[in-house]
Amino acid sequence: MKIFHDIKSIRAELKKHQNIAPNIGLVPTMGAIHDGHLSLVKQIKQQCSTTVATIFVNQKQFNNPEDYQNYPNTLAVDIEKLKNSGVDILFNPSADEIYNPNFATTVGVNKLTDQLCGKTRPGHFDGVALIITKLFNIIKPATAIFGEKDFQQLQIIKKLTSDLNFDTKIISGKIIREDDGLAMSSRNLRLSKKAREIAPQIYQTLLKIRKQISHSNLEAILLSASQELSKAGFGVIDYLQICDEENLQPINFFNNQIKSRIFIAIYLDKIRLIDNLKI
Ligand code: AMP
């Protein structure tokens, strides 16, 4: 696996690949690599001739400075994991390489960003849209993969790609979970032992809601689920909602004709965890 830290050299390297094997696949990450990330690598390797992963903790998408400061950094182990998974090229730029001191451009996607995480994390998706635009311009991938774990992000990136005519196919990977059901996340590393023990209740709650959904009042189901989570020791619930998969608008009455998902963002140990489940 070749590792690049600057734009000029990765572009030169990718030019060589583009001439021989133009099907470049991209897996963007913020590091603290886990099996969720590696499942995306595996999936993209099946479709692409060259696999590029990126590790860049993008400050512009952190609306909470403490969350940015505490974001896990396990670079040496990450490199080993990506190498062993067959990544061909790793792009790991510094913050200065991506955002020069005079950087002045913003990128934003409307509507889809009004819902769910967009409500409680102002500016977050603008930061995501910006870094993905830059990575697509630097790497020019034929295909890029994003996890359903961040389902709203996936939909926003699909919209961004289509609206800005990027010549990149967006594919998605299923949520990879720990054996106890907790969705894998780099932020799980920051949970205390006690918090880690109760964290799987997030997924249990989503499963329970899905079971009840067709024969009960949605509002009552969601209220009772929230109360159970609070009792179990969770903190603030940013949202626990059922939304249309396409436009992310909340659904108040269950309709099996609409493709929908249950979405949750919840604090535990001051760590914000998200998850979702297809209905
Ligand atoms: P992150 O490093 O958290 O920015 O995530 C990088 C990519 O991995 C994003 O496309 C995420 O949606 C995806 N991802 C994170 N956790 C999981 C998971 N548990 N299962 C599948 N994909 C994931």
186 C-alpha to center of ligand 1: Å? 8
Query: In which residue are the tokens 């060259």 written?
Result: 50
Q: Helix (H, G, I), strand (E, B), or coil: what is residue 243?
A: strand
Residue 37 near ligand 1, beta carbon < 6 Å: yes
The pLDDT score that the predictor gives to residue 254 is 86
Rounded CA separation 276/151 (Å): 8
The pLDDT score that the predictor gives to residue 216 is 75
pTM for the structure as a whole: 0.97
- Interval 120-168: pLDDT, tens: 999 999 999 999 999 999 999 999 999 999 999 999 999 999 999 999 9
Cβ neighbours of 207 (radius 10 Å): 11
Query: What CA–CA distances, in Å, run from 109 to 65, 168, 251?
Result: 23, 17, 22
Residue 173 near ligand 1, beta carbon < 6 Å: yes
- Interval 61-114: pLDDT, tens: 999 999 999 999 999 999 999 999 999 999 999 999 999 999 999 999 999 999
| Angle in degrees, 0-180, between the axes of helices 124-139 and 151-163, rounded to the nearest 10 | 50
Residues facing residue 54 across a β-bridge: 28, 91
The pLDDT score that the predictor gives to residue 237 is 98
**Ligand 1 atom at minimal distance to the Cα of residue 175:** 20
25 C-alpha to center of ligand 1: Å? 16
Share of the chain above pLDDT 90, in %: 94
Q: Is residue 186's pLDDT more than 90? A: yes
Q: What is the strand order of the sheet 237-244 is part of?
A: 237-244, 260-268, 271-278
Q: Is residue 278's pLDDT more than 80? A: yes
From 27, 38, 40, 43, give the residue whose CB has the most ligand 1 atoms within 8 Å, as the site to mutate: 40
The pLDDT score that the predictor gives to residue 241 is 97
Average pLDDT, the chain: 96
From 87, 150, 276, give the residue whose CB has the most ligand 1 atoms within 8 Å, as the site to mutate: 150
Residue 275 near ligand 1, beta carbon < 6 Å: no
Work out the average pLDDT over 195-213. Answer: 97
Q: Is residue 20's pLDDT more than 90? A: no
Residue 150 near ligand 1, beta carbon < 6 Å: yes
